[in-house]
Every structure is written in structure tokens, then in C-alpha cells.
């Protein structure tokens, strides 16, 4: 079974700042992912905007919530970024943050 890990203290802070019900839902998803199962929430691969293996958990609504993780490397699910989505399009700032943290993750697994 995989373990999950926040890529840095900021990514943990963001996840803990999500509303309780969303945290629970995404935690259940991450537990499933750690057991090599599909998440329960909707999800989308972010290969082009963040990096290979990056996946976005999706909770739509007003507001909508997202958590971006990578489960592709080693025995760890890395949580890169969690945020409240307020725009209808791609949240460019969130994708940039996730991309930077993806690079951090790559350094860590070398």
C-alpha cells in the first residue's frame, strides 16, 4: 500500500483549509488511490498543464474545490496543491503552483 505525503508545509496548510466535508471526501479518494483503486470523486489528468502523472480531484459546486496529486512515483502519493476554484476556465495560478511543486517532487524522488 502506498503512503501519501504533502510535498511541503504549504500544500498541507491548503488541504487543511478546505471545508471539512471536502477534506473528508478527498481523504477518502486519497486512501483509495493509496490502495491502487480509482478515486470516488471526479478526476482529470493534468499531464499537459502540470506534468506526467498529475491528477486533479474535482468537487464542483459554488465554490468548487480541487486537490492535485501524483501517484505515479515510488510508493508515495504526493499531494501538490489544494484550492478553491472560483473561475470557470483553467485556474492558471493554481496550475503554476502545482507545476512548481511537481518540480520539487521530482527533485525529492531522485
Q: How much is the pTM?
A: 0.95
CATH number for the domain harbouring residue 50:
3.30.2310.20
Runs of H (alpha helix) within the chain: 9-17, 20-34, 92-109
The whole domain housing 78 covers 3-109
Give CA–CA dist 63/86, Å, rounded: 6
Is the pLDDT at 73 greater than 90? The verdict is no
- Our count of domains for the chain comes to 1
Q: What is the pLDDT of residues 37-70, one digit of tens each?
A: 999 999 999 999 999 999 999 999 989 999 999 9
Q: What is the structure's pLDDT at 88?
A: 81
Amino acid at each position: 500500500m502506498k503512503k501519501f505525503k504533502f510535498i511541503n508545509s504549504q500544500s498541507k496548510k491548503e488541504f487543511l483549509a478546505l471545508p471539512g466535508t471536502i477534506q473528508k471526501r478527498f481523504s477518502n479518494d486519497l486512501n483509495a488511490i493509496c490502495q491502487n483503486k480509482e478515486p470516488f470523486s471526479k478526476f482529470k489528468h493534468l499531464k499537459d498543464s502540470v506534468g506526467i502523472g498529475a491528477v486533479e480531484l474535482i468537487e464542483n459546486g459554488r465554490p468548487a474545490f480541487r486537490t492535485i496529486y501524483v501517484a505515479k512515483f515510488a510508493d508515495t502519493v504526493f499531494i501538490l496543491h489544494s484550492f478553491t476554484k472560483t473561475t470557470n476556465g483553467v485556474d492558471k495560478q493554481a496550475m503554476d503552483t502545482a507545476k512548481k511543486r511537481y518540480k520539487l517532487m521530482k527533485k525529492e524522488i531522485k
